[in-house]
A and B are shown apart, each in its own frame.
Chain A
C-alpha cells in the first residue's frame, strides 16, 4: 500500500496534517484513546495513563509508521517521541533519517529575539503543552528583558541554551514539538544549518505539508480554532476520516 502513490499520499496526509491535529484534540479532551482511519491505514492514539495527569500526551510520532517500523503496537510506540528526542540530544540518529526528517516537519524553533543573555522561564518541562504567544523565557539586553515567545502551538521540546548563556539574534533556543501541520507552513521551519537532524528531506516534507494545508487543510484549521468543539463534530469536517 505504502508503495503506491495513493498510499503514500494517505500516509503523508495522516502524518503531517491529521495526526498533529488529533494529538492536540486528544490533549484537550477527556478521551483516553482516539483512532483514525485513512484508506487502509489506521492510526490509534492512546493517552498514557501515567502521563495523562500532567497533561502531556504520548502518541506515535507521525513518522513512525511511515518509516515502516511500527505495526500497530501502540503501547510499544508510546515512548517513541521521547526516545528519538533523546537520540537527537546525543548528536542525532542519522541512521533513522526517514523518521527523523518527518518528525522535523512538526517541529518549530523558538529563536532568540535579540543578542544578550538567555534565561528560560522557571518550571519549563519537556513535553508540556505551549501555545503560540506563550513566553518561554527572556533575553537580557543591557539589563532590559526581551520576551522569548513561542511562534506556534505544540509541546515543549529540547532547550538549546542554558540559563545565563550568551545568545545571538535568531539563535534557536527552544524547540517546539508536535506543531500542527496546518500551521507549520505558516512560518519559517527549523533552520537547516542549526536544526540538528533536519535534512533536505525534512524541508521537502514540510513544503508538502504546507501545500496540503493550503489545499485542503481549512477544515483542520477550523478545528484548531475551536479547541472546545465536540470531538466528533470536529472530525466530521474532515470527510476522509472515520472515528471508531
Chain B
C-alpha cells in the first residue's frame, strides 16, 4: 500500500478522496490552487501544497506542477479525482517515469482507451453493440457532411477528448452541422486542448445508462450494476439513480455482464464506467468509457456497500480484487442530486460568491458529499458543483420520499442554486413514473419545473 497520496483535485472530490485515505491510514497531501486556499480539504489534510494560480491550466491541469508537488512532499502516489488530469495518459506515464503511481488505470491502458472512436472499435470487437458513427475523426467539413449523410440525421457532434457535454451539439441538417462544427471545435480546443471531433447517430428518445466495473491487475473483475443518468441539462448529468427504472432485471444483468466481459477481454484495469444509450425498445449501444472515479459513484456505493475510492486505491497499489461477482450484492434504490451553483432560469448559468449559510440534511439513507461550509466563497474559476445529495431507500418510492425531506432540509444561502429545481423535479409525474429520457428537461422546459416549485 502507498504511504502518502497527493490529492490533485478540489471541491467535494478532494474531500472524498481525503476521507478514503484517512480511513485506510494513508497520509494525504492536498494540492491546491491559490483560489482554493480556504477550502475544507486544505484545512483537513495532513499537508497541503499550493501548486499554482487560480487558472487551472497552471495549477490542476499542469502535469509538471502536480508531479513536482507530489515529489517535494514525499508522496508515492497521485489521485487525480475526476476531470483535470484524471484520464491523461501522458500524465500517468510521467508519474510512473518519476517512480510514483497514478491512481487509475496504468498509462498503457489509459492510452488504449484514450480515443473514443478507437475504444468503440475495440469494444465492438469484444462483443459490445455500438451506435453508428463516423469512421474515425472528422477531417474537414466535407468529410463531416459525407459521414453525417451516411449515418443519417440527426447526428451528435462529439469531441474525442474529455466529456461533461462540452463541445457537444446535436444537429438535424447539413446546414446546422456546418455551423455547429466550428463552435464544437473551439469549445473542445478550449476545454481539452484537442479539437478532434466525431459523429454519432442521435437517438431521439434515449436513456443514458452506465455500468460500473472494477478490474484488478490480474484480470479479475466484477461489475457493480448500472446507474441511470438520463436526467440531463445541456448534455450534463444532473440526477443519477440506480437501478435504472427503464430496465428489467434480465436486461440489466445482460448489459452489466456484457460490459464487464468486454473490458476484461480488452485488457482494462482499475475502476471504469461504460456508458450506453438505451433506446425505447431496450436496445443498448456502447458510447464511451470513463477511466476514473465518477461524480455519481456514491449511487453505486449506497447499493453495494463498497467504497469505490478505496477499491480504486487498492487496485492501483497492486492488490488483488479479493472477492467475486457472487459477493457483490446490490440492495434497494439510490438517487443522487447534483447541487450546483447555477441559475436555472438563466439557462443554468454558473454562479459564484459567498455561501452565507449552509446546513446539510441527515437521517436514514441520506448522504451529503460536499465541501461547503457557512462562509465559504465559491470561486468563479471552476465547475459549479457544490455537492451531491444521495438518498437510499429499500425501493424507489421510499428513496424519493427521503429525497423530498432531505432537499427541504438542505440550506445553501447566499448564492443561486438548483435546489428548488430538484424539489420540483421529484414532483414531476414523468420523473415519478421513471419513464423519462434524456429529453425530459427539453420537453418540459426548466422554467416549468421552477414554476411548479413556487
Q: Which stretch, A9-17, A62-70, A109-117, touches the partner chain B?
A: A109-117
Q: Does B229 interact with chain A (Cβ within 8 Å)?
A: no
Q: Does A168 interact with chain B (Cβ within 8 Å)?
A: yes
Knowing A115-B72, A117-B72, the reply to whether A170 touches B64 (Cβ < 8 A) is no
Q: How far is the CA of A168 from the CA of B50 in the complex (A)?
A: 5
Task: Choose among B49, B65, B68, B98 the residue with the greatest number of A CB atoms under 10 Å from its CB.
Answer: B68
Q: Does A141 interact with chain B (Cβ within 8 Å)?
A: yes
Q: Does A243 interact with chain B (Cβ within 8 Å)?
A: no
Q: How far is the CA of A116 from the CA of B69 in the complex (A)?
A: 7
B-contacting residues, A126-173, CB 8 Å? 141-142, 144, 166-171
Q: Does B27 interact with chain A (Cβ within 8 Å)?
A: no
Interface contact B72-A169, CB-CB below 8 Å: no
Q: How far is the CA of A142 from the CA of B68 in the complex (A)?
A: 6
Q: Does B67 interact with chain A (Cβ within 8 Å)?
A: yes
Residues of A within 8 A of B98 (CB): 142
Binary interface encoding of chain B residues 45-62 relative to chain A, with 1 for a CB under 8 A from any of its CBs, else 0: 000011111000001000
Interface contact B34-A115, CB-CB below 8 Å: no
Residues of A within 8 A of B69 (CB): 115, 168
Q: How far is the CA of A116 from the CA of B65 in the complex (A)?
A: 8
Partner of B65, one of A114, A167, A171: A114
Interface contact A142-B34, CB-CB below 8 Å: no
B-contacting residues, A178-232, CB 8 Å? none
Q: How far is the CA of A169 from the CA of B66 in the complex (A)?
A: 11
Knowing A142-B64, A142-B67, A170-B34, the reply to whether A116 touches B53 (Cβ < 8 A) is no
Interface contact A166-B73, CB-CB below 8 Å: yes
Residues of A within 8 A of B72 (CB): 115-117, 166-167
Residues of B within 8 A of A169 (CB): 34, 50-53, 59, 65
Residues of B within 8 A of A144 (CB): 64
Partner of B49, one of A117, A141, A142, A168: A168
Interface contact B67-A170, CB-CB below 8 Å: no
Closest to B74 in A: A166
Q: How far is the CA of A120 from the CA of B62 in the complex (A)?
A: 24
Q: How far is the CA of A211 from the CA of B69 in the complex (A)?
A: 39
Closest to A117 in B: B72
Q: How far is the CB of A173 from chain B (nearest CB, A)?
A: 13
Q: How far is the CA of A169 from the CA of B54 in the complex (A)?
A: 11
Interface contact B50-A114, CB-CB below 8 Å: no
Binary interface encoding of chain B residues 93-117 relative to chain A, with 1 for a CB under 8 A from any of its CBs, else 0: 0000010000000000000000000
Task: Choose among B51, B64, B72 the residue with the greatest number of A CB atoms under 10 Å from its CB.
Answer: B72
Interface contact B64-A171, CB-CB below 8 Å: no
A-contacting residues, B312-344, CB 8 Å? none
Residues of A within 8 A of B50 (CB): 115, 168-171
Residues of B within 8 A of A141 (CB): 64-65, 68
Binary interface encoding of chain B residues 74-101 relative to chain A, with 1 for a CB under 8 A from any of its CBs, else 0: 0000000000000000000000001000
Q: How far is the CA of A168 from the CA of B52 in the complex (A)?
A: 8
Interface contact A114-B68, CB-CB below 8 Å: yes
Residues of A within 8 A of B49 (CB): 115, 168
Residues of A within 8 A of B59 (CB): 169
Residues of A within 8 A of B71 (CB): 142
Residues of B within 8 A of A115 (CB): 49-52, 65, 68-69, 72
Task: Choose among A144, A167, A168 the residue with the greatest number of B CB atoms under 10 Å from its CB.
Answer: A168
Residues of A within 8 A of B67 (CB): 142
Chain A interface (Cβ within 8 Å of chain B)? 114-117, 141-142, 144, 166-171
A-B contacts besides A142-B98, A167-B72, 14 pairs, CB < 8 Å: A114-B65, A115-B50, A115-B51, A115-B69, A116-B72, A117-B72, A141-B65, A142-B67, A142-B68, A168-B51, A169-B59, A169-B65, A170-B50, A171-B50
10 CB < 8 A contacts A-B: A115-B50, A115-B69, A142-B64, A166-B73, A169-B34, A169-B50, A169-B53, A169-B59, A169-B65, A170-B34
List of 6 A-B pairs having minimum Cβ-Cβ separation, nearest first: A166-B72, A168-B50, A169-B50, A115-B69, A141-B68, A116-B68
